[in-house]
Amino acid sequence: MNRYPLWKNLMIGLVLLWGLIYTLPNFYGEVPAVQVSSAKATLRLDPAAASDRVANALKDAGIEHDGIFSDAGSVRARFASTDIQLRAKDVIERAFNPDAEDPSYVVALNLLPASPAWLTAIHALPMYLGLDLRGGVHFLLEVDMPGALTKRLDSTTGDLRTLMRDKNVRHAGISREGNTVVIRFREAAQREAGRRAIQDNTADLQLSDRDAGADDLRLVATLTPQAQQTMRDFAIKQNITTLHNRINELGVAEPVIQQQGADRIVVQLPGVQDVAKAKDILGRTATLEVRMVDDTPGAIESALAGNIPFGTELYSERGGGPLLVRKQVVLTGDRLTDAQPGFDGQTNEPAVHLTLDAAGARIFRDVTRESVGKRMAILLIEKGKGEVVTAPVIRTEIGGGRVQISGRMTTTEANDVALLLRAGSLAAPMEIIEERTVGPSLGADNITKGFNSTLWGFVAIAVFMCLYYALFGVVSSIALAANLLLLVALLSLLQATLTLPGIAAMALTLGMAIDANVLINERIREELRNGSSPQAAIAAGYERAGSTILDSNVTSLIAGIALLVFGSGPVRGFAVVHCLGILTSMFSAILVSRMLINFIYGRRRKIDSLSIGQVWKPDSN
Amino acid sequence: MEFFRIKKDIPFMRHSLVFNAISFATFLLAVFFIATRGLHLSVEFTGGTLVEVIYTEAQPLEPIRTALAADGNTDILVQHFGSARDVLIRLPNRDDVDSNGIADRVMATLHKMDAPAPELRRVEFVGPQVGKELASDGAMALLLVIIGIVVYLALRFEWRLGVATIVANLHDVIIILGFFAFFQWEFSLAVLAATLAVLGYSVNESVVIFDRVRETFRKKRGYTTEQVVDHAITSTISRTVITHGSTQMMVLSMLIFGGETLFYFSLALTIGICFGIYSSVLVASPLAIWLGMKREQFVKVKKEKEEAVV
């Protein structure tokens, strides 16, 4: 009577097997590795080609590796020992950066999980350890949105001034006042004309009248909520992209860069100890410059021969040859208000659309009128070194501030160029509002402490359960172990960040999970005490305790979810493990323990007694 | 082995007034301490900078204080952390100084001192914007837990039980805070998490008992409400003690092996577990009776059927 159907046993067995497989990677530890990633914002690493280059370089040097892995932005090779790792780093460094003065790639020492390839192939990875366990730096950055808004309105003020002049509207002054732009007029007719001019030109501004006297008529312009929202999204995305590029340079294995809330960015750099350098890199700004290319015949040849003509500089084009660029700067990134990838309206070729502010548009019109047929270079300058992002030929005079770069470009390239152009302009300033550094020794200590707490707590509970409930206690302990197994497997699968509070939650969840088994065992004892037969007592015990277990876990889950929703940082780490643990505990405490009990007692027709410890009956005394 | 050999139901409810008086007194005491002493909030809530360093040998605190004060720092807190080698330095945020580089400057000062250079263990910098948010998020989380639990218990059982449970368990939360205020233990985010987890956990206790109350109402027809509650508590007492004992073993293990970081976390859990048993068993049940819990609320449907048969 106490038997599970075959499918149920199979299902529980499969779930446990799954748990075992996904827990496995946590036992292998880590091996030394070398990581290659791009050092320049303008250089995109092609994982497949770079893997081959690493493999060839190692083969030529006769160094053996334990596998090469690649993801979107980096290639990593594993080695058997740190000695080999160090030798390999030199070899790879030489292969990728022939010019040590100007490295194109970052080659860094690293650690990788040592689990066998078949586990990695099914995405069975070790748990993702938080910074408090592995050491590293955590920053919370806040994007200065008011600052970005002011900047935007300042450029709008300039735009409006130009617009009024172009449309011949007479005004008595344009200025920014707080979060509005105020235009003064002497006559109502001019104000009407001004309003029409602005409405025809842009949909981003909301206009309203304000009169301070008979001859002081004002038009107040504010950014529409929509335009403000777009600006915010733009600013935060822009900053995240820029941070990604910068952080690659640090050669961090698994950096985390995420948006948090409306205007914040979390940056986590595991293993980084040099906070000052990290801050320096995060805070650095890139600038954008537009200059003309020197196309004088023969000039480039003489420059390559070491004879650079006066007033020019030699740069290399991204993914192309050398280019001679004039020193005189036509435009800087400040004049660029947007850069988006898109398509050419006529040829449907991928293109990059640039938008310049009013002053920029004027300069651009003048320059392009004089230089039709010549090339202009757009340079991204980072760390004092410049690189030509793109060098298009000017086909016609370009007025109105809308510029399109197209031709010989794929969609991906258009995306890259737009990103790089944005990186060199506009990014709103950021401020560090939270910083946490954990030294590597503290991280290791925390792991040991967390592990010991859980281990000894588990042992104490298991010993007590076995003593108090005999065979049923053994089954409860096994169910508790299954709970731990499933929880670790789930955390490994989800790659949820495990922190010290997370380990504490794991221990606490185990301590709470035993409640379900205590409820069941007590219920069975009670049924026996009331005179039920052993088989009936088992069935009734599990059945009656079931609904109580569900109720009590739901209330715990409510608390867990509240923490998950409102918690941040350490609290969230705690809440994730707590919630998952409640779910796994219901499975293991009810199903796993019942399956084991069924295997032990379910097949026998007649049982004299259950091994559940002493059942004391008031009558027998 | 069987710890509990109880022949008759223990008349808990006869003394319910005493239990409630005791818990009301503790509650008032806790509120008093929170009001007069306040909580010793961690940097996470107040904002500021925390630097933890470890020296190779025991390090007196006075020279560090003098050196840091000489650098123009005010309101510095320097204390040992775990051992005489570990030193914890806490500095507040100040408007006139760029808070961002404080940790670097502190480390520079420590390196210049007349002692072997320490190793940096941990830096925490929390800007003034963050602290306030954490406090309000904590309050929101608490509110969500309260509403969620009352609604769930009201749906599953009866609104009276929901209200009784949450009142009893909220007073646990206040008592935990009272302990932290009285001893001036550091109240960190982890402690807040422990407090809320304990809230969910001790509600379990009331759920188990009320589950039994409902069952007893249906089974034992002759019992008064008080007798039903006594019976429910008596028959679950063995489970109550064993479960909490087991959980406490785990928490004790964290208290012993978990080190400084988990210490206050597990301390909050310990207090929460002890008072949780008391309040959810001996406070929540009388409250439910006073709120007017009756048999009819649990066995309505059955009664109608019987009348139809007659």
CATH code linked to domain A6-23+439-602:
1.20.1640.10
Quick one: fold of A31-114? Answer: Alpha-Beta Plaits (3.30.70)
Q: Extract the tokens encoding A64.
A: 């053996």
Task: Tell me whether residue B118 is in a domain.
Answer: yes
Among partner residues A439, A500, A562, which is closest to B141 by beta-carbon distance? A562
Position B45 scores a pLDDT of: 84
* Burial of residue A248, with CB atoms counted within 10 A of its CB: 0-12 exposed, 13-18 middle, 19 or more buried: buried
Where is the domain boundary, B126, B145, B163? B126
Q: Say if the Cβ atoms of A457 and B250 lie within 8 Å.
A: yes
Task: Tell me whether residue B310 is in a domain.
Answer: no
Among partner residues A273, A501, A560, which is closest to B200 by beta-carbon distance? A560
Position A273 scores a pLDDT of: 67
CB < 8 Å to B93, chain A: none
Task: Report d(CA B243, CA A605) in Å as an integer.
Answer: 32
CA distance A524 to chain B (A): 12
Q: Do residues A264 and A258 touch, judged by C-beta distance below 8 A?
A: no
Residue labelled with tokens 């368990």:
B169
Position B301 scores a pLDDT of: 52
Instruction: Kindly state whether residues B188 and B287 are assigned to the same domain.
Output: yes
Instruction: Kindly state whether residues B147 and B110 are assigned to the same domain.
Output: no
Q: Do residues B199 and B206 touch, judged by C-beta distance below 8 A?
A: no
Position A154 scores a pLDDT of: 78
List the domain range (segments joined by +) for residue B189.
Answer: 12-41+130-301
Instruction: Kindly state whether residues B229 and B82 are assigned to the same domain.
Output: no
Q: Which helix (H) or strand (E) holds A355?
A: strand A350-356
Instruction: Kindly state whether residues B91 and B239 are assigned to the same domain.
Output: no
CB < 8 Å to A457, chain B: 249-254
Position B303 scores a pLDDT of: 45
Position B302 scores a pLDDT of: 46
Position B96 scores a pLDDT of: 66
**Residues of chain A predicted below pLDDT 70:** 1, 40-42, 249-251, 253, 273, 283-286, 319, 382-384, 423-427, 618-621
Number of domains in chain B: 2
Q: Is the pLDDT of residue B305 over 50?
A: no
Position B36 scores a pLDDT of: 93
Q: Do residues A574 and B193 touch, judged by C-beta distance below 8 A?
A: yes
Chain B residue whose CA is closest to A620: B7
Position A425 scores a pLDDT of: 59
Output the CA torsion A570→A576→A578→A579 (10° steps).
Answer: 150
Instruction: Kindly state whether residues B152 and B237 are assigned to the same domain.
Output: yes
CB < 8 Å to A276, chain B: 104
pTM of the model: 0.76
CB < 8 Å to A557, chain B: 200
Chain B residue whose CA is closest to A434: B126
Instruction: Kindly state whether residues B79 and B33 are assigned to the same domain.
Output: no
| Mean of per-residue pLDDT scores for chain B | 84
Task: Tell me whether residue B186 is in a domain.
Answer: yes
- Identical fold for domains A6-23+439-602 and A286-426, yes or no, is no
Task: Tell me whether residue B93 is in a domain.
Answer: yes
Say which CATH class A286-426 falls into: alpha beta
Query: Where are chain A's structural domains?
Result: 6-23+439-602, 31-114, 146-228, 286-426
Q: Which residues pair with A205 in a beta bridge?
A: A223
Task: Tell me whether residue B240 is in a domain.
Answer: yes
Task: Tell me whether residue B216 is in a domain.
Answer: yes
Output the CA torsion A402→A407→A412→A413 (10° steps).
Answer: -80
Q: Say if the Cβ atoms of A465 and B125 lie within 8 Å.
A: no
Q: For residue B105, what is the domain's CATH number?
A: 3.30.70.3400
ipTM above 0.90, yes or no: no
Q: Do residues A611 and A597 touch, judged by C-beta distance below 8 A?
A: no
Position B97 scores a pLDDT of: 67
Where is the domain boundary, B106, B126, B146? B126
List Cβ neighbours of A401 (8 Å cut-off, separation of 6 or more): A355, A356, A357, A358, A360, A361, A364
| Test the A interface: residue of B50, B150, B237, B247 with most A CBs within 10 Å | B247
Q: Do residues A485 and A20 touch, judged by C-beta distance below 8 A?
A: yes
Q: For residue B143, what is the domain's CATH number?
A: 1.20.1640.10
Instruction: Kindly state whether residues B121 and B136 are assigned to the same domain.
Output: no
List Cβ neighbours of B266 (8 Å cut-off, separation of 6 or more): A504, B194, B251, B252, B254, B255, B258
List Cβ neighbours of A278 (8 Å cut-off, separation of 6 or more): A137, A139, A250, A269, A272
Instruction: Kindly state whether residues B83 and B217 are assigned to the same domain.
Output: no
- Please tell me which residue, B257 or A2, carries the higher pLDDT value: B257
Among partner residues A142, A452, A465, which is closest to B129 by beta-carbon distance? A142
Task: Tell me whether residue B2 is in a domain.
Answer: no
The answer to whether domain A146-228 has CATH 3.90.930 is no
Q: Is the pLDDT of residue B35 over 70?
A: yes
Q: Say if the Cβ atoms of B145 and A558 lie within 8 Å.
A: yes
Instruction: Kindly state whether residues B160 and B289 are assigned to the same domain.
Output: yes
Q: Say if the Cβ atoms of B269 and A467 lie within 8 Å.
A: no
Instruction: Kindly state whether residues B144 and B288 are assigned to the same domain.
Output: yes
